[in-house]
Chains A and B, each alone.
Chain A
Amino acid sequence: MKRVEEETPRIGVFICHCGINIGGIVNVPEVVEYAKTLAGVVYAEDNLYTCSSVGISKIKEGIAKHNLNRVIVASCTPRTHEPLFRGACEEAGVNKYLFEMANIRDQCSWAHMHEPEKATEKAKDLVRMAVAKSRLLKSLEEPEIDVTPSALVIGGGISGMTTALCLAGQGFKVYIVEKEPELGGMLRHLYKLYPTMQDASERLNHIVNSVKSDKGIEVLTSTVVKQVKGFIGNFEVTVQKANGGTANFGVGTIIVATGAPIFEPVGMYGYGEYDNVITQLQLEQLLKDGQLKKPKSVIMIQCVGAREKEGRTYCSRICCMTAIKNAMLIKDLYPDTDVHILFRQLQTYGEHYEEHYRTAQDKGVKFIKYLQEKPPEVISGKNGKLTVNVHHALLDEELKFGSDLVVLSTPLIQHEDAKKLSQILKVPLGSDGFFFEAHVKLRPIDFATDGIYVCGTAHSPKDTPESVSQALGVASRAAIPMALKRLRTEAITAVVNENLCSGCGTCLKLCPYGAIEKDEKGVARVTEVVCKGCGVCAATCPERAIEMRHFTSEQVMAQALAALGRAVK
């Protein structure tokens, strides 16, 4: 491909009628004649449809015949058609970044269909603006990087192991780093899993055995991630064993599956004070060990330390189902034990969960709604007996229950290592302390930083089926770059002028992708493959030492001033 930066611009302008969409409003031939008068333009023509195969051939012919080194299509929006026209340029030997578009349909003829003359004037202005920018365009190359076909999974719970198995099954090497001495995470402490009522240990043993017997998976227990350097495809990981020893390895992708512990409600409803006030997790352990002595009356309190007005404002999502599950297990064990669940709002979403709720009702579990403003009270009496007072929100009545076991449903909360890990990986945490995805709808399991993904309760409270779904999703996402083996990254990146940079470091903190670091000389350096091209650093740099490729200050300025009919001074 020819290098044209130093060459005098030879711009070709192709103006599209888009059938009657543009041509019916804008006087296209007049715009063509106008384009011919602009500095740098050596050729201009109109097409019925520039995006048709005929139109594309015309671009290619024009490039060859008139020795064009820059191309402008004035038609629709670059958001849909730029890739097509860029492709035509590339095929004809013009770097695709030497292409520019003027949007004379979506933002001109369609929006000004009742003012054809003004629309024509605006179309001329838009072409002039595109020409002004085009004259200053530079060809760019998209850097290519190799991707190491291996993944680091941080956390060996159900989510991490699911991802690891899925990736290993596709032939990728996987490292699982687990802080605890054994795999399993939260499932090690659970008894039954809703809605199937399968033994958690049965489920766990099966997956742990699969992981251990998979040759593609290397399990590092009693190990934590100490340092991560690099970028997608090329991460360098340092891990530390409990005995202090370290190890290094390279991976192409990283999956955060660190899970979440439950909230210990010390000081709430007598927890920590009375022995028979326990959490759901402690109840699971008693049920699991067959240690639950027959209680006469069990009271479960929902939303303990969750959905608060401040602090933990979120719903932990799993507590309602957990309470219903454990209430039923108690009923199965001791049918004449009274079980009451005091709830604020019951979340039994979906078909199976709703069914579970009804089954619990059929088994005699009682549900009582309380209000956030009027929370229940737990009072200790004789012989360790407890009294629970609650305002029944639907009856609008104060009720009093004797109880010998109060079970508090507490939320999953931020992992104690989350903050540290977020700093090591340079990925964000949300206001609730959980890892924060790139976009809730568009990129729900990616981090903004390429090559790093999140699943399971590290991301937000969720149950086993949801964690498994997300873990499989993450495995699919992480497999994409590893299967491709090579990646092309953004060419529109920031570049630092070393001579102007004072090393103030402002840009380092601004970059949402951690793409800028200081080099050995103390000046900022952009890791191009990490840069996403937003340009915030360029707009901010105190020394104005950063330039944004393809949207340089000079190019933007030229385009803006051309709108006013002025040239850059």
Chain B
Amino acid sequence: MTFEPRIVGFLCNWCSYAGADLAGVSRISYPTNIRIVRLMCSGRVDPVIVLETLAQGADGVLVAGCHIGDCHYITGNLQAELKINMLKKLLARTGLEVERLRLEWVSASEGGRFAELVKDFTDQLKRLGPSPLAGDKPDKNILASVLAAKATAEDFRLRLLVGREKTMIDDGNVYGEEVSEGELDKVLNEVIDAEYVRNRIYLLAKEEPLSVKDLSKLLDLDSQMVLRHIVVMRRRGLITVDRVEGTSPLYTALEVGQ
């Protein structure tokens, strides 16, 4: 049997869902691969939801909203764009193909465009092959990475940064200083890097106690770097020393209560 990708689409009620309706009303055929979840606004798409959907084996995720400037809620689609940008940065670190996530603008009058889009995405995913996380035997490493990415998307610091990105570009930072998009992007990359690695460490140390050397090898990361993260994580009460083997302490994850 040929591979039929499973696409989950998160569509805004006012433009993209209406565009999908119009494709049907106009009897424009497109592949059956997409399953649509209707939301009021593309800005409702929490990065955590996207990562969970991918972690559970969706071959592709489509987020679609009104064209820029046409958002029913004025600026919701701009917020969606910021979140998808962040998600793509995160995904790029996991080993799961970034192309599995797409953000598109489809207006209520673009039935044809919606159909084209689904066809194009389906073809693209067919070329890419099944998600390594689909089926009963997901790729363990990639799954661990995506789950770390999901934990990162839940992180306060990263969410705060993404949530304030637009106001910081428009109005400057809390000190009233202008912040350029380039600078902000740099900070965003740094936060993503740091938090993603910490979440990887946390999830690995949750399974079994590990040394800096073990972690360094598992994460393919300089041991000095791993140690630096461990210092931060110990201070935050995320991990602790389980026992010392030889001269190396083995770290284990602490339960973090909400």
Contacts and interface: CB of A to CB of B under 8 A. Distances in A.
B160 interface: yes
Nearest to A566: B56
Nearest to B171: A509
A563 B6 contact: yes
A354 interface: no
Interface string A507-547: 10110100000000000000000001111101111111000
Contacts of A129: 35, 37
B32 A110 contact: no
A560 B39 CA distance: 11
A443 B135 CA distance: 48
A106 interface: yes
Given A106-B20, A112-B29, A113-B27, A536 B159 contact: no
B6 A536 contact: no
A218 B28 CA distance: 59
B43 to A, nearest CB: 4
Contacts of B56: 561, 564, 566
Contacts of B43: 534-536, 539
B8 A563 contact: yes
Interface stretch (A152-160, A294-302, A548-556): A548-556
A540 B8 contact: no
B32 A118 contact: yes
A77 B83 CA distance: 28
Nearest to A115: B32
Contacts of A540: 46, 79, 83, 159, 162-163
A452 to B, nearest CB: 14
B32 A121 contact: yes
Contacts of A379: none
Interface in B200-218: none
Given A512-B75, A564-B8, A106 B24 contact: yes
B180 interface: no
Contact of B57 (A113, A500, A509, A566): A566
Nearest to A21: B24
A64 B26 CA distance: 38
A542 B48 contact: no
Interface in A425-456: 428, 438, 448
B153 to A, nearest CB: 10
B23 interface: yes
Interface in A89-115: 103, 105-115
B53 A560 contact: yes
A126 interface: yes
Interface string B28-64: 1110100111111101111111001100111000000
Contacts of B48: 544, 553
Interface string B153-166: 01011011011101
B203 to A, nearest CB: 15
Contacts of A114: 29
A492 interface: yes
A555 to B, nearest CB: 10
Nearest to B27: A110
B74 A448 contact: yes
Contacts of A448: 74
B17 A535 contact: no
Contact of A107 (B6, B10, B24, B160): B24
B112 to A, nearest CB: 12
Contacts of A504: 160
A101 to B, nearest CB: 9
B256 interface: no
A553 B21 CA distance: 24
A67 interface: no
A79 B76 contact: no
Given A506-B164, A542-B159, A563-B8, A536 B76 contact: yes
A103 B21 contact: yes
A538 B47 CA distance: 11
Contacts of A541: 159, 163
Contact of A548 (B20, B44, B47, B258): B44
B116 to A, nearest CB: 12
B1 interface: no
A548 B52 CA distance: 18
A104 to B, nearest CB: 10
A220 to B, nearest CB: 32
A542 B30 CA distance: 38
Contacts of B25: 106, 110
A270 interface: no
B230 interface: no
B37 A106 contact: no
B58 A564 contact: yes
Nearest to B73: A534
A539 B156 CA distance: 13
B96 interface: no
B44 A534 contact: yes
The 9 lowest CB-CB distance pairs between A and B, nearest first, are A535-B44, A106-B24, A563-B35, A534-B73, A110-B24, A536-B43, A542-B159, A534-B41, A506-B163
21 contacts: A77-B21, A79-B13, A107-B24, A111-B27, A111-B115, A121-B32, A129-B37, A492-B40, A506-B163, A510-B167, A536-B43, A536-B76, A538-B44, A539-B43, A540-B79, A542-B159, A544-B46, A553-B48, A560-B58, A561-B53, A564-B53
Given A79-B17, A553-B46, 16 more contacts: A111-B24, A111-B32, A506-B160, A506-B164, A507-B163, A509-B167, A510-B163, A534-B41, A534-B76, A535-B39, A535-B43, A539-B44, A553-B49, A557-B52, A563-B6, A563-B8
Interface of B: 6, 8, 10, 13, 17-18, 20-21, 23-25, 27-30, 32, 35-41, 43-49, 52-53, 56-58, 72-76, 79, 83, 115, 154, 156-157, 159-160, 162-164, 166-167, 258
